[in-house]
Structure 1
Amino acid sequence: MTLREGELDVSEAMVRALVAAQFPAWAGRTLRPVRAGGTDNYMFRLGDDLVVRLPRMPYGGDTVRMEHRWLPYLAPHLPLAIPEPVGLGRPGAGYPLPWSVYRWRPGDHRIGDLAAAARALGGFVAALQRVPVPAEAPPAYRGGSYAGADPGMREALRDLDAPGAEKRWDAALELPGWDGPPVWLHSDLLPTNILFRGGAVDAVIDFGCAGVGDPACDLMVAWSMFNPASRRVLREQLAVDDVTWERGRGWALVFGLGAWHYYRDRKPAFAALGRRTVEQTSMTP
């Protein structure tokens, strides 16, 4: 495996040593890597019901602490399952960051009925936005303006064949920003972070980008997962004005163009998701 610049090298032996030293009650469990661990975290199954997650990059420690602090606060308010942390690990055994142990939740990414998925996710987003926001709540990774992404978007638009996308991006930059109170956001609400069981939405995972801010960023799932008909179903679940909805389209362009451009030679499947998202932003609604 080729590591990205700055990426931490984590081995099974290292994880086994961390677990044995810090959670000896789990030391005798089987440990096996999850091959599709994700862009930001290594994942190792620990027995049948637990999973160890370790940030891949040196800046990932803050997300571990954030999830352990806020996931138990959010969970009782939400209609879908979210990750359940059961252990917070310390640096050790050559690994320099905090790491975590969660309950393992089985599932897949196979969608059954799109309209049913849209209703479920719309209800989840609406419930998340209603969760009370304490003064110490962290800002979401995508909770502010997307204007700072403009240089990267221009580079992607130069390199990709995306008819009409530049016009849509220009329109997104002209929209007024959010002037309401901050709300809770997942901030990375994409098909890869939604688990299904039997074709039905079961859980939303990976809250490393979560926090509070402009509700528009969680709307990018409307274009990254759904078609026009199911997108309308999702919007019916939300109290969202037209301008916020269009900023959601802007966030979908940020994700779609960025993923298509960056991952086209690295992760073709993720690049294809980005391309489909960009194409969906051309459609009404």
Structure 2
Amino acid sequence: MSTGRMHPGIHPIDDDLVRRLVAGHFPRWAGLAVERVPSGGTVNAMYRLGDDMVVRLPLVKGGADDVSVERTWLPRLAPRLPVLIPEVLGAGRPAGGYPWPWSVYRWLEGENPEAGALSEPVLLAGDLAGFVAGMRSITLPGAPPAHRGGPIASLDAQTRAAIEELRGIPQEGVDCDAAAAVWEEALRVPDWDGPPVWLHADLMPGNLLVDDGRLTSVIDFGCLGVGDPACDLFPAWNLLPADAREVFRDALAVDDATWIRGRGRALSQALIALPYYRRTNPAMAHNARHVIRTVLGES
């Protein structure tokens, strides 16, 4: 779990607030047990409600838009995907001093996978490729642009600023010159020139659930939309070991330019996350370090 205030403007959320919100909006669920779910998430707090549900509440104003995105699209995506995704059971509204919409979902069983501790990495790579291919095959009209799904150059200023910030944090041990070289390579390859594809756009380990090493669910679709297919290659570097990484790539038939953009996007996200979260969110910082080591180790 996070250990400090990750962002400005975080709204305080605790068990009592969740109980009041649930009782006020959904009296039939009042009195069910409420328990905070440990999470490395940065935008939402999650509370288990009884045995079969979870309440998800934005921590910051920026997460409020994601609530409506999920309510609109999750029911339409679910029958088209090979694994379970969240199912909205209740749509909560601002109340009692809490300022944003929130939702109740069906509880999904499973554990977050951990890089370096996967029991079935090659099989998981195939499962992940199946999910990504399933997203790409969707043809529903009216999709929003995916968060971070535009041209990779749109990330350039923030990525270079993060590299310079990490130069000033030598204890993190990041080879900033090597990171800059990988990033510049990603900028040099052609942008995606095909039609934009459907993306989850945030395939971090914390948004995946596994059982016996196999993918069972994908959660947190707040970044969904259409864009560059490279955006959904993140698991190659944030989770999978080298042999499974190749299985993932082969299953998706990823061309060289898209692979290089995917690697650059994964590195960019990690470079930006590490200085931002290193003192407030151990899970995010740990994964960022892993991605940086993995990308620079293969370059």
TM-score, normalisation: structure 2? 0.90
Quick one: which of 11, 15, 26 aligns to 1:23?
26
Provide the secondary structure at the position in 2 that maps to 1:202: strand
Distance 1:284 1:13 in 2: 48
Contact 2:152–2:191 under 8 Å retained in 1: no
- In structure 2, the residue corresponding to 1:281 is in which secondary structure? helix
Which residue of 122, 143, 151 maps to 1:137? Answer: 143
Shift of 1:152: 2.7
Q: Which residue does 1:14 correspond to in 2?
A: 17
Report the 3-state secondary structure (helix = DSSP H, G, I; strand = E; otherwise coil) of the residue aligned with 2:296: coil
- String of CA shifts for 1:126-152, please: whole Å, max 9, x gaps: 111001130x21111021123232233
Q: For residues 5 and 284 of structure 1, do their structure 2 counterparts lie closer, same or farther at Cα, with a shift above 3 Å needed?
A: closer
Note if 1:192 corresponds to 2:206.
yes
Percent of paired sites with the same residue = 48
Paired amino acid for 1:170: E
Asked if residue 121 in structure 1 is aligned to residue 128 in structure 2, the reply is yes
- Does the C-alpha gap of structure 1 residues 265 and 2 become closer, same or farther in structure 2, counting only changes over 3 Å? closer
Which of 237, 252, 256 in structure 2 is aligned with 1:223? 237
Q: Distance in 2 between matches of 1:42 and 1:221?
A: 23
Q: Alignment RMSD, CA only?
A: 1.7
Q: Is 1:18–1:92's contact at 8 Å kept on the other side of the alignment?
A: yes
2:274 corresponds to: 260
Aligned to 2:152: 146
- The answer to whether the Cα contact below 8 Å between 2:41 and 2:206 also exists between their aligned partners in 1 is no
CA shift at 1:93, angstroms? 1.3
Bigger relative contact order (CA 8 A; separation at least 6): 2
Q: Is the 8 A contact 2:147 2:225 kept in 1?
A: yes
Counterpart of 1:89 in structure 2 is 92
SS in 2 for 1:207: coil
2:170 counterpart residue number: none
**1:74 and 2:77 aligned:** yes
Question: Are 2:179 and 2:296, in contact at CA under 8 Å, matched by a contact in 1?
Answer: yes
* Equivalent pair of 2:57/2:102 in contact (CA under 8 Å): yes
Once structures 1 and 2 are overlaid, which stretch shifts more, 274-283 or 229-238? 274-283
Mean Cα deviation higher: 253-262 or 73-82? 253-262
C-alpha contact (below 8 Å) 1:37/1:43 kept by paired residues: no
**CA 220–37 in structure 1, closer or farther in 2 if over 3 Å, else same:** closer
Task: Write out aligned runs for 1:167-182 (5 A).
Answer: 167-182=181-196
SS of alignment partner, residue 282 of structure 1: helix
Question: 1:247: Cα distance to partner?
Answer: 0.7
SS class of match (1:237): helix
Quote the offset at 1:28 in angstroms: 2.1
Return the letter of the residue paired with 2:131.
Answer: F
Structure 2 residue corresponding to 1:44, chosen from 42, 47, 68: 47
Q: What is the letter of the counterpart of residue 69 of structure 1? A: T
Residues 230 and 262 in structure 2, CA contact (< 8 A), matched pair in contact too: yes
Using the alignment, how far apart are the partners of 1:35 and 1:145 within structure 2? 34
Corresponding residue for residue 162 of structure 1? 174
Q: Which moved more, 1:102-111 or 1:228-237?
A: 102-111
User: Which of these residues, 5, 8, 22, is aligned with residue 5 of structure 1?
Assistant: 8
Question: Is the contact between residue 133 and residue 183 of structure 1 (CA under 8 Å) also seen in structure 2?
Answer: no
Aligned residues: 284
Greater shift, 79-88 or 103-112, is seen at 103-112
Residue 178 of structure 1: how far off its partner (Å): 1.4
Residues 2-30 of structure 1: CA distance to partner in whole angstroms, max 9, x if unpaired? 54311111232222121112111111211
CA distance in structure 2 between the aligned counterparts of 1:78 and 1:209, rounded to whole angstroms = 17
**Long gaps (5+) in structure 2:** 168-172
Structure 1 residues 21 and 267, CA, compared in 2 at 3 Å: closer, same or farther?
closer
Q: CA deviation at 1:277?
A: 0.8
Contact 1:187 1:211 (8 Å CA) reproduced:
yes
- Alpha carbons of structure 1 residues 97 and 269: separation in structure 2 relative to 1, 3 Å: closer
The residue matched to 1:80 in structure 2 has which SS?
coil
Select which of 63, 67, 80 maps to 1:64. Answer: 67
Which shifted more, 156-165 or 216-225?
A: 156-165
Distance across 1 between alignment mates of 2:133 and 2:249: 10
